[in-house]
Amino acid sequence: MARKRRVLMAKPGLDGHDRGARIVSMGLRDAGYEVIYTGRRVTPAQIVSAAIQEDVDLIGLSILSGAHMTLFGKTLDLLSEQGAGDIPVFGGGIIPPDDAIKLKKMGVKEIFGPGTSLPAIVAALEQHLPPANGG
């Protein structure tokens, strides 16, 4: 039987607003993903080690406090340092358009702002995954 795709959903930093992270987690679960949600207030180091340990196919980061440039950057750096730079990272939250462009240049695959629908998120993520083996 094919292994379900696994995604790690994380709330880096100190921001506690996790409605978005929880809804996206529920949406991805209903779309057939296995979702591991870290809970709030985790460090980039904790995220990277959980991602490697759980052997995930995707990492989702959600920040609404404005600390995205610092925390997304740290997470990406640590991932490549630990040889896991190939795990696609996506993100969401309160992120100004200019920052979204910068984050994509830094290597974040997708930024989903407020108002993005769950089907749109699922469709966008599909493009960053290899076809599921065995179907």
Partner 1 sequence: MSEQQIAKQLSLWEQGPMERELQARGERKESFATPSGIEVKRLYTPLDLEQAGQDYNRDLGYPGQFPFTRGKDPLGYRANHWLFMQYAGFGDAAEANKRYRYLLAHGGTGISIALDLPTQLGLDSDDPLADGEVGRIGVALDSLQDLETVFDGIPLDQPRQISLVANAMSSVGLAMFVALAKKQGVDPAKITLRIQNDILKEFISRGTYIYPPGPSLRLSCDLIEYCARNHPNWLPLTLCGYHLREAGSDAVQEVAISLADGLAYLDEVAERGVDLEKVLPQLSAFMSVNMNFMEEIAKFRVMRRLWARLAKERYGVKDPDKLGLALVNFTAGSSLTAQQPMNNVVRVAIECLAGVLGGCQSLFPCSYDEAFCTPTEESVKLALRTQQIIAHESGLADTIDPLGGSYFLESLTEQIEAKVRELLDETEKQGGAVKCIENQWFRRQIDESAYEWQKKVDAGEQVVVGVNAFTEDVEPAIEIFRPPVEAQQRQINKLKTLRASRDPDLVEAALNKVAAAAREGSNTIPAMVEAVEAYATIGEICGTMAQVFGLYRESGL
Q: Is 62 in the site for partner 1 (CB under 8 A)?
A: no
CA 13 – CA 42 distance, rounded (Å): 6
CA 90 – CA 75 distance, rounded (Å): 11
CA distances from 100 to 15, 33, 94, 130 (A): 18, 25, 10, 24
Q: Is 35 in the site for partner 1 (CB under 8 A)?
A: yes
Selected binder of partner 1 within 104, 119, 126, 129 (CB under 8 A): 119
CA 82 – CA 79 distance, rounded (Å): 5
- Closest contact distance (angstroms) between CB of 132 and partner 1 is 23
Number of residues that bind partner 1 (CB under 8 A): 38
| Contacts with partner 1, residue ranges (CB under 8 A) | 9, 13-19, 22-23, 25-27, 35-41, 43, 65-67, 69-71, 94-98, 113-115, 117-119
